[in-house]
Amino acid sequence: MLKIKNLSKSYPSASGLVDHKVLDNLSLGVNKGETLSIVGPSGSGKTTLMNIIGTLDVPDTGEVIFEDLNLKNLTEKTRPEFRNKKIGMIFQLHHLLPQCTLWENVLIPTIPLKNQGNGALKRAEDLLKKTGIWEQRFQKPAELSGGECQRAAVVRALINEPSLILADEPTGALDQDNARNLVDLLLELNSEQGTSLIMVTHAPELAKKMNTTYRLSKGKLV
Amino acid sequence: MNSFKLFVSNIKHFFAANFWVALGISISTAVLTGGLIVGDSVKYSLGQAAELRLGNITHALTTGERFVTTDLAHSLNESGIACSQALKLRGNATANGGQLKLNNVAIWGIDDGFWKVAAGRNDSAVFLAGDESRAYISENTAKRLNLSPGDEILLRIEKASLIPANAPFVSDEGQIVSKRIKIEKILTIEELGGLNLRTSQTAPFNIFLPIDELNRWMELGEKANVLLISSEKTVAEIENYISINFSLADAALNIAGANLTNEWELTSGRVFIDDATSKNIENSGLETSPLFTYFVNSFSSGNRETPYSFISTLPNDRLSENDIVVNEWLADDLMLKAGDSLLLKYYTIGPLRELTEDSVTFTVKEVVPIEGYFADQGLMPHIPGLSDAENCRDWQTGVPVNLGAIRDKDEDYWYKYRGLPKAFVAYDVAQKLWKNRYGSVTAFRFDRNQISKPELERAILEQINPFELDMQLEAVKEQGLQAARNGTDFSQLFLGLSFFILVSGVLLTALLFGYNLERRSSEIGTLSSLGFSKRGILKLFLSEGLFFAVLGALLGSFLAIGYNRLVFWGLNHVWNDIVRTQVLIPKIEVQTLVIGFFVSIAVAILTIYLSLSRSLKKQTASIQRKTANALGKRAKTVLNIFAWFFLTAAFVMSLLELMKSKGNLNSGLFFMAGGMLLLSIMLFILLAISRNPRQRLSPLSKTTLAIRNLKQSRIRSMTVIALLAIGTFLVVSTGLNRKDFFSKENDPKSGTGGFLFWAETSVPLLHNLNNSAYRQEQGFMQNFTAVQMRVNDGDDASCLNLNKISNPRVLGVDPAQLKGRFSLQTKTKHVNQDDFWQTLDSENDHVIPAFADQTVIQWGLMKKVGDTLTYKNEFGEDIYLVLAGGLSASVFQGNVIISEKAFLHHFPTSNGSRVFLIDGPEESREAIFDELTLAFRDLGIQISPTAERLAEFKTIENTYLTIFLVLGALGLLIGTVGLAIVLQRSLLERKAEFALLASVGFSKRMLLQLIRGEYILLLFTGIVSGLITAFISVFPAIRGTVENLSPGFVVLLIALILLNGIIWVFVLSWLQLKQPVLVEALRND
C-alpha cells in the first residue's frame, strides 16, 4: 500500500551554514492493514517522515508511492484532497478546536468533502460510541479530560475512512493507563476498518503492540 | 531580583508590543486634548474678536432713531468719563464706476476723540482737512470693493433727520444722500477697522468719515447717535452721569418765547413731542397748556371748501366736544357764522404711510379775529418742506396735495399768515382724532410771569428720563466678552464630533492590551504558581500599563497640538463657513494639556484595569474549565431584557411619532430611536454569539465553523462589530442628514415659505409695496406681492454667529400675510398648529409672543420654546418676548419675529421696513428681481432667492455635519484598523488550528475562504447593523418634505470603508497562509 524509496530530507542547521540531514536514503514498505511503530530519539526525523507521508512536507529526494500513486505527482490542489481522503492524522496534542463541540470536532474533516451525506454522521456516531465518548458529544474540549480529547482526535482521524493512520506520539500527553487504552483502541479500530497504522512513539511497550517496530537512527530505519 | 527590577525587565522585553497600546492611548489623548484646545482657541479667538472690534470701548450709548448733541459727549468727558461721539448711519457703497457694490455698510462719523477713546491714541488718525471728502475704510470693505488708498467711491447714505421719516406730513423726498469720497487709509482690524457694537465675530463693512462732515451732509448740526465710552464705571453710574449732563437739546426739545403771547413755548425738533415726555410734563404740576396742531385736507360747509389748512387746539374748558372756533378768514371764505356746521376732512397716517381720509363735523362756536393767540404763526410746528415753503405749490408734505384745489386766496393766506391755524378745537378732541405714534402734542406753553426760562428748563429736564427716549447704554465690552465665553462651545462640539475616534482609541487600547495579556497568560499563571497574589499581579501589570499610558498620553499631547493645527486648518479653509472670522488664533493652555493628559491616563488605566481584571478572572475560570468563555444565565437574562427594552422603545417611539406628527417628524427623536435600535441589535448579536451551540447531530459546514470561530472570541468579535456599527451609524445618519436644496422651494410650508426672494435694504422703505398707487408711481410692471417687515436691530443669532446671543434682531410682521406659510417644529400648547401665525397677535401688556427658528432658539439663544427674551422698548421699558414656537429651518434664521402691531406699539418711531419677502409667479422671477433692484438701488437693496438664503444657513449645518462625518469616518477607519489588528492577532494565534485543518485536508483556498468569510462576516454585520439603524434615524429626512438627501457621499464612504476592511482581511490572511503548510504549529513540542 505504501512504498517509500530512498527518501532524503535535510534542514538548514541553526548556523545556516551546513544542512542537517534528517532522513537519509530511507526506504520503507507498509502493507494494507499493517501496523508499525517508529521509535527513536527526539530530533531523529520521526515527525518529518510522518509529515512527508502525510503530504504536509516534501522530501528532497526519493519517492513515496501510496496505493500506486506517486505522491510527487500530487499538486498543490490535489494534495489536500488526497490527505483528506486517504490519511488520518493524530498528534501528541489533540488539537481539537476549542470553539467546537466534540461532535463538530470529529466532523471537521468532512467539511472539504463535497458530499458529506449521512454516512459521515453515522460513522461519527459509531466511532464516538466505540471510543466511549458518545455521552460527551455536545461538550467542548475545555470540558473534557485529556484522554477523552485524544480519543476524539482518533475519531476525527478515522471519520473519512482513510487507508492510513499516521499517529505522531499520540500518547505523549497522556498517563500510562490512558496511553495504553488509546493504543489498544487504535489497534482495535485499525483491525476493524482494515486501516494501516504508523505510530511514532517513545514508549517501547506501546511500540511492541504493533506488527513491526522500526528505530529511526541517523536518518535510516533500522 | 525585586518587583522594580521585574517591572523594568518587563517594560524592556514587552516594549514593542506595549508601544502599540501607547499608540492607542495617544489617539484618545490627541482627540480629547485636541478637542479641548480647539474649544480654548475658539473661545480665545472670540474674546480677541470682541477686543479687536471694540478697542478700549467699554460702553456705548445708542440713541435709536434719535440724536443727541455732541455737547453731551463733551460734558461727559469733563465729568471724567472718556467719551467720544459718533454718528452712525446705514448706507451702501459703489466703486469702480458702479461695477462693485456693497450694501449694508456702516458709515461712522467720528472725530479725533474716537482714536483717543477707542484706541488710546493721540497721534495720527485725524482726518485730513481738504476740499475732497476723505474716509478711512475697513480692510474687508477695501477687499470687497477692491479699493486702495486714493481710490474714490460713491456713498449712498440714509438721510438722517431729527424728524422720524414716517412722521405725518414729513416729506419722504431726499431720503438718500449721495456723496463721493476718497479713500485715505485702509484700517486693519487691529486699527479698529472692524468696529462693531454688535456681538459678532464677523467684521461689518465700515467706512469712517469726519463727524462734522457727515453732520453737514445730513444738515443735522452737531449731532451724534452713538456715544462711545471707555470707563471702568458701571452702567448705572454712567447712566447717572448721562442723566445729569442731559440737555433739552439732547431730547430735541427747545424753549423759546411765543410770538404774540407772554409765554414760553416748548417745541420738539421732531415735530411731535413724544408721549413719555408729554405725560411727564402734564403730570409735573407745571402750569401749562399743551397744543396740538394738525394739517387737514379741507374745511367745508355746504358747497364751499377751503383746502389744506392747519388746525390747532384751545384748552378743553373753552370748548365742548363738538365745538370749533374759526378765524375770520375761514368764516369769510366759507360764509360761516356761529352755530353753522363745518365738515373737516383729514388724513390719518397708518404704518408705511398708508393714508386714510376721515372726516368729522363740528359746530362753529365762535368766529375769532386774527389777533393775539389766534394770530400766532408759531402755533404751526416747524415741518421741513412745509414751514420753509415760499408758497403752497412748493409744499413737500408727505401726503398727496391736489395743487389744483389751491386757490389764489389760499396762496395769499399762506403768504400773509403762513401756517397760521384757521380753526381751533378742544385739545382732547384733537388728541382723539389725530394722535399718532410719534406724539400727540406739538407744543407746551408756560406763563412767562410764573417761571423763568432757566427754571423752566430745569423743571422740564427733571421730567425727562433719557432712557425713556429710546436711548440705551450697554456695557458692550463686558457683554461681548461674556458672549464669547458663553458662545458655541467648540470643546464640547469637537469632543462630540470626535467622540467616535475617542471611543475607537479606547477600544483599540483595550484590544491591544487584551492581546498582550493573552500572550502573557502563561506568565500570569507562572507568577500565580510562584505565590504572587492576584493583587500583586494586578499591581505589576497595572504599573506597566501606567508606564505606557503616560508614554501614550505624552505622545498624544503632542499629537493633540497637531490635531488642533489640522482642525484649525480645516476651520480656516474648508470649514470656514462655521467660524466666519479672520481672527481664529490657536491657543494652547497648559491647564488644558494637563487636564487632557490626566484624563487620558485615567481612561487608559481604567481600560487596562478592566482588561486585566477580566483576564485574571478568565485565568481562574479556565482553571475551573467549565465556565470558560460562557456568559452567565443571569447576564443573559439581563442582556435579553435590555435588548428587548431598547427594541420596543425604538419602535414605540417611532410609531408614536409617525401617528402623532402631522408633517414634520422630530428628527432628534428618530435619531434616538435609531440609536436604541442599534443598541438593541448589538445586544442581540452579543446574545447570539454567546449562545451555546445547539445540541444537534447535524453535519458541520464551513459557515458553522466560521460562526463557531467568531463565537470563540466573543468580546473581540463584538468589539469589531460595535466599532464598525457605531461608525457606520454615525457616518450614514450624519451623511444622509446633509441637505441639498432647491427641491421644494415653492412649497409654502417649506423654509422658504414659498416666497421667491428675501430682500433687505440698508435704508428703510417708507411705503407699502403692495399699495397699487405706490406701485403705479414707481412704475412697477410685474405682478408681485411683498411681506414687509420692520426691524429692530440686534445681534445676529443665526448659526453664523458663534457668540451667545441674548437679543437677536426683531422683525415686526403682519401675521395675516404669512398665513399658511412656513411650519413650526416646536410650539407651546397655546399655539394653534393650523394657523400658528395668528398667535403673534395676542400681545398681553408687555408680554409678546414671538417665533424664531428652532435652531436659533436652541443653539443661538441656548433656550427652548416657552422661554422669554427681554428687550427694552423705545421708552426704556422692559418687554418680554415669549418664544411661542420654533420654526422649522427657514429664511428667518437669526431673527425673532413678532407682530407688526406689537412692534409698533413698542417701537412706534420705527421708520418703514428693511426686510421683505417677495412672492410672484415663478416665470417672472428674473423680471421681479430686476425691477426691485433698479427701483430700490439707492436704498441699497440686496435681493437673494429664498432657497439660496436657506441654502447658505444649511451650508453651516452641513459643514458641522461634514466635520462630524469626516471625524466619524476617521474613527471608522480606526475601527477597521482594529479589525486588522484583531485579524492579525487571531491569525497568529490560530496557526495551530490552521495547521490542523490543513492536516485533515483543508486546501489553502478553503482556509482562506474560511478566514475571509469569518472576518468579512464581522465587517458586514457591523456595517449592516449600522446601516439599518442609521436609516431609522434619518427616516424624517427620507420622508422630509423640504430637502433632498445626499446619499452619494455616504455610499462612497461606506464603500471605501468596506473596501478598506476587505483589503485588510484579504492581505493579512494571504500573508498568514503564504507558507506552504503550517506544520511547525503542529510540532509536538
| Mean pLDDT in residue range B153-171 | 84
User: B194 by DSSP, 3-state: which?
Assistant: coil
Q: What is the pLDDT of residues B470-484, one digit of tens each?
A: 888 999 999 888 888
B697, B702, B992 ranked by CB distance to A111: nearest: B702
Q: What is the pLDDT of residues B1046-1085, one digit of tens each?
A: 567 667 777 877 887 888 888 888 887 776 545 665 654 4
**Residue B265 pLDDT:** 92
**Residue B910 pLDDT:** 78
Query: Residue B1079: its chain A contacts at CB < 8 A?
Result: 51, 56-57
Q: From the centroid of its chain, how far is CA B609?
A: 45
The grid cell for B320 is 365742548
**Which of the four pLDDT bands, split at 50, 70 and 90, describes residue B628?**
very low
pTM of the model: 0.68
Query: Residue A82: its chain B contacts at CB < 8 A?
Result: 1001
Contact (Cβ atoms closer than 8 angstroms) between residue A59 and residue A6: no
A56, A101, A121 ranked by CB distance to B1077: nearest: A56
Q: Do A142 and B1084 make contact, defined as CB atoms within 8 angstroms?
A: no
DSSP B432-469: HHH-BTTBSBSEEEEETTT--HHHHHHHHHHH--GGGT
B interface residues, A as partner, C-beta within 8 Å: 622, 625-626, 628-629, 693, 695, 697-702, 704-705, 708-709, 711-712, 992-993, 995-1004, 1006, 1077, 1079, 1082-1084
- The burial class, CB within 10 Å (0-12 / 13-18 / 19+), for A146 is middle
The mean-pLDDT minimum among A100-114, B452-466, B573-587, B912-926 falls in B573-587
- pLDDT > 70: what percent of chain B? 88
Q: B326 or B168: whose pLDDT is higher?
A: B326
**Residue B623 pLDDT:** 43
Q: What is the pLDDT of residues B933-974, one digit of tens each?
A: 888 888 888 898 998 888 777 766 667 667 666 776 676 666
B701, B702, B996 ranked by CB distance to A95: nearest: B996
Q: How far apart are CA B835 and CA B615, in angstroms?
A: 64
**Residue B1041 pLDDT:** 43
**Residue B13 pLDDT:** 83
User: B883 by DSSP, 3-state: which?
Assistant: strand
**Residue B626 pLDDT:** 39
* DSSP label of A66: E
In the predicted structure, residue B421 carries a pLDDT above the cut 90: yes
Q: How far apart are CA B937 and CA B955, in angstroms?
A: 28
**Residue B344 pLDDT:** 94
Q: Do B1082 and A104 make contact, defined as CB atoms within 8 angstroms?
A: no
Query: Residue B622: its chain A contacts at CB < 8 A?
Result: 142
| Mean pLDDT in residue range B790-795 | 86
Q: How far is A67 from chain B (nearest CA, A)?
A: 18
Q: What is the pLDDT of residues A138-192, one digit of tens each?
A: 888 888 888 889 889 989 988 888 889 999 888 877 788 888 888 888 888 888 8
Most confident of B352-356, B397-401, B438-442: B438-442
In the predicted structure, residue B1037 carries a pLDDT above the cut 70: no
| Mean pLDDT in residue range B190-199 | 88
**Residue B563 pLDDT:** 78
Q: Do A103 and B697 make contact, defined as CB atoms within 8 angstroms?
A: yes
Q: How far is B1010 from chain A (nearest CA, A)?
A: 11
Q: Do A111 and B628 make contact, defined as CB atoms within 8 angstroms?
A: no
B625, B1001, B1006 ranked by CB distance to A142: nearest: B625
Q: What is the pLDDT of residues B424-462, one digit of tens each?
A: 999 999 999 998 888 889 999 999 999 999 999 999 998
- The burial class, CB within 10 Å (0-12 / 13-18 / 19+), for B938 is middle
Mean pLDDT of chain B: 83
| Mean pLDDT in residue range B496-513 | 74
Q: How far apart are CA B443 and CA B448, in angstroms?
A: 15
- State the maximum Cα–Cα separation within chain B, in Å, rounded to a whole number: 137
C-alpha dihedral over A181, A187, A188, A189, to 10 degrees? 110
Reported for B372-376, long-range contacts at CB under 8 A and 24+ positions apart, including other chains, are B372/B260, B372/B261, B373/B260, B373/B261, B374/B325, B374/B327, B374/B424, B375/B260, B375/B417, B375/B420, B376/B258, B376/B259, B376/B260, B376/B261, B376/B420
Cell match 382723539: residue? B432
**Residue B123 pLDDT:** 58
Query: Residue A120: its chain B contacts at CB < 8 A?
Result: 699
Q: B390 or B1036: whose pLDDT is higher?
A: B390
Q: Do A156 and B1077 make contact, defined as CB atoms within 8 angstroms?
A: no
In the predicted structure, residue B742 carries a pLDDT above the cut 50: no
In the predicted structure, residue B23 carries a pLDDT above the cut 50: yes
Instruction: Establish, for the pair of chains A and B, how many residue pairs have beta carbons separated by less than 8 Å.
Output: 109
In the predicted structure, residue B57 carries a pLDDT above the cut 50: yes
In degrees, rounded to 5, the angle at the alpha carbon of residue A154 between the alpha carbons of residues A34 and A74 is 65
**Which of the four pLDDT bands, split at 50, 70 and 90, describes residue B800?**
low
**Residue B665 pLDDT:** 65
Question: How far is CA B651 from each of CA B638, B662, B678, B705, B736, rounded to the nearest angstrom?
Answer: 20, 18, 12, 34, 21
Query: Residue B629: its chain A contacts at CB < 8 A?
Result: 142
Q: How far apart are CA B816 and CA B828, in angstroms?
A: 20
Q: How far is A104 from chain B (nearest CA, A)?
A: 6
B628, B1077, B1084 ranked by CB distance to A142: nearest: B628
